[in-house]
Structure 1
Amino acid sequence: MSSITVVGSVNRDFVLTVKDLPHPGETVLAQHFVEGAGGKGANQAVAAARLGSRVRLVARVGADAAAILDALASEGVDVDAVRPDEGATTGIAAVVVDEAGENTIVVNPGANADLGVQDLPSRLVRSTREVVLVQNEIPPDVVGLAILRAREQGGIVILNPAPARPVDTRVLAAVDVLVPNLGELASLLGTALPADVDEARGLLERATLPCRAVVVTLGANGAILKEARSTDITHIPAPCVDAVDTVGAGDTFCGALADALARGIDLPTAAQRAVHAASHAVTGLGAQASMPYAAQLDVPAVTSAS
């Protein structure tokens, strides 16, 4: 079975659906309200577990997280390395989603901000081809050490640099696959946000990031991929779907990408599968609730390489 360690955040998500997102100073009435588990770390762990990987989550939660931990365990996520923090509350995300599936999110980090380097297992990589997946909703020193430790131990390292913030060059050089969206890529490179896929391709062609590959998620336009050993840019289009809620789509992408890479699948094929998984995720409400199982994907199931 493919093996993945996710080092990241756990949140309680409060999702409200509205006709249109409110303007500054405007009050609108919600049409629906859903509470569920979230946080990029937890979301990506669930996404990978639903596709069949053995997933361990390293995180911090508050004393109020018993139901969330039970829910993660029921998805097959190993939560033994999730440390309860009696002095803090679990992170909270307030999510507002409009009828077009667009959203705004405000996050209170809570216990996520207390995740420390001492919480990292000494062995992040436990088996051949293990993937270590990290995001930026936890402190920068933890992100950096997790990536460097995983590289030293021979793991496949994926960094989802969300939310956007500077990343040390030494840390980026230890990353196998960097997975930003367009805004995060522009932030890392210090450039303006690309207006379309062609501009995104041009930006990626000129990028001089030290990681081994970059996969840029483009929402409804799929993703583009560049490997350091090649000058080619590969565009992976997304299937046409009726989007209900885009929250968690990027996390689904990262979890599916990790699942495929942990099975020994080549990066372009892994990215294609991740695009299809993310496209499925936007057809339902809620981050984790709409994440697909392997049988629900309309692409060939991946199998472990011999």
Structure 2
Amino acid sequence: MSTVVLGSANRDLVYRVERIPSPGETVLAGHATAVAGGKGNNQATAAARSGAKVTFIVALGTDEPGDRLAAEATAAGITLQERRVTEPTGTAIITVDDNGENAIVVDSGANRLLETLNVKETAAIAAADVLVLQLETPLSAVIAAANAANAASTTVVLNASPIQPLPAELLACVDVLIVNEHEARHLAAHTHRIQTQHGDENDLASALSKLGPAVILTLGPRGAIVCVPGEPPALVPGRNVTALDTTGAGDTFCGALAAALDQETNRALDLGTLVRAAEFATTAAAISVQRHGAVPSIPTLEEIRHFHSVN
């Protein structure tokens, strides 16, 4: 069993602040750190720490941040299929307030050049059990990867973040669509003209599942809704924890969910399979929000199992 992640990697500059500044406002940080980040990198790390055998397709600059990200990914047990490109490695500036909420600005850098797939990358996707995608890299490569996976019967998990219109060609290849409530409403209303009542997450998840894939709608501390076309939505409750930093929690959820799906002996994506995977992923995310940073907060398989057993 194996998981391939195609996506972004950034060096995150994280600033702890009392409150996230308003437009035109300057605030002083109490602490600052530089850590590994990027949605693809976060999700690859989460999948690896959750027990999956992970290959990560990524573009990095020929610079010190690129070297460090590559070394850290390798140390996490990830097999890298990296491209070293002329653009500098991606970076992100993240402010985290005293309530654990964050605001993020990303300079994609090298990630912008991950536009196509080569023969080796396509072969890795075709040989995998699960492919994980996000939208911080060019859509052309995301679509190419999804097509390669679909042709090989590889399960395609798409975290539609940052949100943008999803072409029909991409949706036709997606098996599991993961979105938060904001992304789901934007996707429904602005991309596919689906109208739902505000606040009714079950209707929203059901409406999106009519586009084809199973839908997992994440609700932060309230857990997640799992919806398979033709079946009533199922709620996976959140864990009762105190959040210190929500940065990377969604990515932890996605990577852990992919690992859980990868380890299912039954490859059918029925409601029970997805609920079990979402329960595992919700536990992983709950652990992550109790720690600082994106990659540094991601738990191991042993930590997830222990948390599940005592809560």
Query: What is the CA-CA distance between 1:194 and the residue it aligns to?
Result: 7.2
1:219-258 mapped onto 2 (5 Å cutoff)? 219-228=220-229, 230-258=230-258
Query: What is the CA-CA distance between 1:36 and the residue it aligns to?
Result: 0.7
Query: Against the structure 1 CA distance between its residues 193 and 18, is the aligned structure 2 distance closer, same or farther, given a 3 Å change threshold?
Result: farther
Q: Is the 8 A contact 1:58 1:119 kept in 2?
A: no
CA distance in 2, matches of 1:206, 1:267: 18
Query: Against the structure 1 CA distance between its residues 58 and 275, is the aligned structure 2 distance closer, same or farther, given a 3 Å change threshold?
Result: same
Query: What is the CA-CA distance between 1:210 and the residue it aligns to?
Result: 2.7
CA distance in 1, matches of 2:4, 2:185: 28
Does residue 1:283 correspond to 2:274, yes or no? no
Query: What is the CA-CA distance between 1:208 and the residue it aligns to?
Result: 5.2
The residue type equivalent to 1:256 in the other structure is A
The residue type equivalent to 1:204 in the other structure is A
RMSD, matched Cα = 1.7
Secondary structure of the corresponding residue to residue 295 of structure 2: coil
CA distance in 1, matches of 2:209, 2:157: 18
Question: 1:260-284 CA distances to partner (integer Å, 9 max, x unpaired)?
Answer: 1001161110011001101111111
Question: 1:190-235 CA distances to partner (integer Å, 9 max, x unpaired)?
Answer: 1689754xx111222333543330001111111001001x331111
Q: Is the 8 A contact 1:183 1:193 kept in 2?
A: no
CA distance in 2, matches of 1:276, 1:295: 12
Number of residues of Structure 1 aligned to a counterpart in Structure 2: 293
Alignment match, 1:28:
27
Alignment match, 1:304:
none
CA distance in 2, matches of 1:179, 1:289: 23
Alignment match, 2:269:
none
Quick check: which one's helix share is greater? 2
Does residue 1:295 correspond to 2:302, yes or no? yes
Question: 1:168-194 CA distances to partner (integer Å, 9 max, x unpaired)?
Answer: 112112111000111111111116897
Q: Is the 8 A contact 2:209 2:227 kept in 1?
A: no
Query: What is the CA-CA distance between 1:119 and the residue it aligns to?
Result: 4.1
Alignment match, 1:168:
167
CA distance in 2, matches of 1:214, 1:207: 7
CA distance in 1, matches of 2:2, 2:103: 33
1:129-278 mapped onto 2 (5 Å cutoff)? 130-190=129-189, 196=199, 199-207=200-208, 209-228=210-229, 230-264=230-264, 266-278=273-285
Q: Is the 8 A contact 1:179 1:254 kept in 2?
A: yes
Q: 5+ unaligned residues in a row in structure 2: which ranges?
A: 266-272
CA distance in 1, matches of 2:109, 2:74: 21
Q: Is the 8 A contact 1:172 1:209 kept in 2?
A: no
Q: Is the 8 A contact 1:124 1:153 kept in 2?
A: no
Secondary structure of the corresponding residue to residue 45 of structure 1: helix
CA distance in 2, matches of 1:109, 1:82: 16
CA distance in 1, matches of 2:40, 2:208: 27
1:6-21 mapped onto 2 (5 Å cutoff)? 6-21=5-20
Query: What is the CA-CA distance between 1:62 and the residue it aligns to?
Result: 0.6
Secondary structure of the corresponding residue to residue 214 of structure 1: strand
Q: 5+ unaligned residues in a row in structure 1: which ranges?
A: 301-306
TM-score (norm 1): 0.92
Secondary structure of the corresponding residue to residue 36 of structure 2: strand
Q: Which has the higher mean CA deviation after the structures are superposed, 242-251 or 185-194? A: 185-194
1:7-86 mapped onto 2 (5 Å cutoff)? 7-64=6-63, 65-79=66-80, 81-85=81-85
Query: Against the structure 1 CA distance between its residues 124 and 150, is the aligned structure 2 distance closer, same or farther, given a 3 Å change threshold?
Result: farther
Query: What is the CA-CA distance between 1:82 and the residue it aligns to?
Result: 1.0
